[in-house]
Structure 1
Amino acid sequence: MMAAMYQTLLPFLGACLLIAASPGPSTVLIIRRSLTGHRHGMATVLGNETGVFVWGVVAAFGLTALLAASQLAYDALRLVGAVVLVVLGLQALRAARRTRGAAVADGDEPASAPAPVRESAWRSYRAGLALNLANPKAAVFALSFLPQFVPAGAPQLPAMVALAAVWALFETGYYACYVWGVGRMRRLIDRAAVRRRLEQVSGGVLIALGLRMALEG
């Protein structure tokens, strides 16, 4: 079994890379939270990947098949996910207004953005986790994705759980590069105008994704 798992590992990691590289709500949220600091960015990554692993385990037990089969359950989770996206988008827009308000109060555009409202990294973790767990597409995708890489003859449950763990760990490393990249651009991002624009763009994208999720059939 172990030899067969090693043989499927490389194509599985290639597929994980393609998935992670596809832009989506998680990417937007991770970048947006990384604007607050490295700790918040990594907490968001860990929350998102906890969700990835949870959905992988749920898929291993076949429970996501119930979600895929029940239109009512799927639609309910879809609407919850839409609300989560819109709320996160509104939070970003409020952060942009705070930056703008500080600039107006000073009577000029400051060289650096004002210090962000202090938040716990736990809040960033919860945001990443909620975004992933409230996405029914993530659940259904895990159900269809992971079984393709279970070697023939291997016990499906432990194999899928192991693949889900590898998937989450791989994406943690991948998204950590995003957090690092935002940190490297700190001097540029800390400018009030740049930070405000990034918050506005990320907020607008999250709201648009939430509305699309709410309206899609």
Structure 2
Amino acid sequence: MLGIHDLGLFIASGLLLNMTPGPDSLLIMARSATQGFRAGSAAALGIGAGTCVHVLAAALGLSALLAASAAAFTVVKLLGAAYLVYLGIGMLFKRRAAVASDDAPPPPAPLPLRRIFAQGFLTNVLNPKVGLFFLAFVPHFISADAPSKAMAFVVLGAVFNVNGMLWCHLLAWSSAAAGARVRGRAWTQTLGRWLNRGIGALFLAFGVRLAMAEMT
């Protein structure tokens, strides 16, 4: 149908690729562990929205233009790297919410779900390597004589994104469950602060790595 072949292999490969750790997974884990499943789901949905943009851009040929233009690739790459560094610094130096009691350390201030969604969207959509990945990976599963290569591309992109959302929500659920088991204990706020700092440092590293990335 639509000139798509080896759909089972595509689904299996997509699941394995979605399970590969990266900035998207780290964002979901961090938000889920500190604010619960709804926050992790908001981050996952933002990432899914960003993936939709990449799929449509690749299907329409915009990613091909990005791949062909070193200047365009560099601009998007540096924007994405700057945003990852911004997120990393925010996690490293996150302010704590003020509380009336002086006996217990204040918990971290929760972020609105809309802002978490936006973080997920921007983390994904500002990474040009995601668009180039779709451009390089998806055509292998579309026949040369497909009646509409763009439609086949969109269908495969949708399948990839649905599988990705299933994995991201499983990751959000497991991270939220782990966070709930330890939340409320005396040492968890200290652990949470160090977790934020550790993930913030990883985001900084991802940002630097993206800034140094070359077109492939």
Confirm or deny that 1:32 pairs with 2:26.
Answer: no
Q: Which residue of 1 aligns with 2:54?
A: 55
1:15: Cα distance to partner?
0.9
1:83: Cα distance to partner?
0.7
TM-score (structure 2 length as normaliser): 0.87
Confirm or deny that 1:187 pairs with 2:181.
Answer: yes
Confirm or deny that 1:168 pairs with 2:161.
Answer: yes
- The superposition leaves residues 83-120 of structure 1 with CA deviations (integer Å, 9 ceiling, x where unpaired) of 1101111121123x538x98xx8466x5xx72x42432
1:168: Cα distance to partner?
0.8
Structure 2 contact 96–109 (Cα < 8 Å) conserved:
no
Structure 1 unaligned blocks of 5 or more: none
Question: d(CA) in 2 for partners of 1:60 and 1:212?
Answer: 27
Deviates more, 1:150-159 or 1:28-37: 150-159
Structure 1 contact 41–179 (Cα < 8 Å) conserved:
yes
Letter of the structure 2 residue corresponding to residue 177 of structure 1 = L
2:9 aligns with one of 11, 28, 34 = 11
Percent identity of the aligned residues?
Answer: 35
Q: Which residue of 1 aligns with 2:137?
A: 145
Q: Which residue of 2 aligns with 1:46?
A: 45
Question: d(CA) in 1 for partners of 2:84 and 2:194?
Answer: 19
Specify the SS of the correspondent of 2:93: helix
Q: Which residue of 1 aligns with 2:20?
A: 22
Structure 2 unaligned blocks of 5 or more: none
Structure 1 contact 53–167 (Cα < 8 Å) conserved:
no
Structure 1 contact 188–194 (Cα < 8 Å) conserved:
no
Question: d(CA) in 1 for partners of 2:129 and 2:169?
Answer: 23
Q: Which residue of 2 aligns with 1:123?
A: 115
Deviates more, 1:8-17 or 1:186-195: 186-195
1:188: Cα distance to partner?
1.7
Question: d(CA) in 1 for partners of 2:102 and 2:73?
Answer: 49
TM-score (structure 1 length as normaliser): 0.87
Higher relative helix content: 1
How many positions carry a matched residue from both structures? 207
Letter of the structure 1 residue corresponding to residue 192 of structure 2 = R
Structure 2 contact 29–40 (Cα < 8 Å) conserved:
yes
Q: What's the C-alpha RMSD, in Å, of the aligned pairs?
A: 2.1
Structure 2 contact 35–176 (Cα < 8 Å) conserved:
no
Moved over 6 A (4+): none
Question: d(CA) in 1 for partners of 2:161 and 2:151?
Answer: 15
Question: d(CA) in 1 for partners of 2:93 and 2:125?
Answer: 24
Deviates more, 1:31-40 or 1:74-83: 31-40
Letter of the structure 1 residue corresponding to residue 166 of structure 2 = G
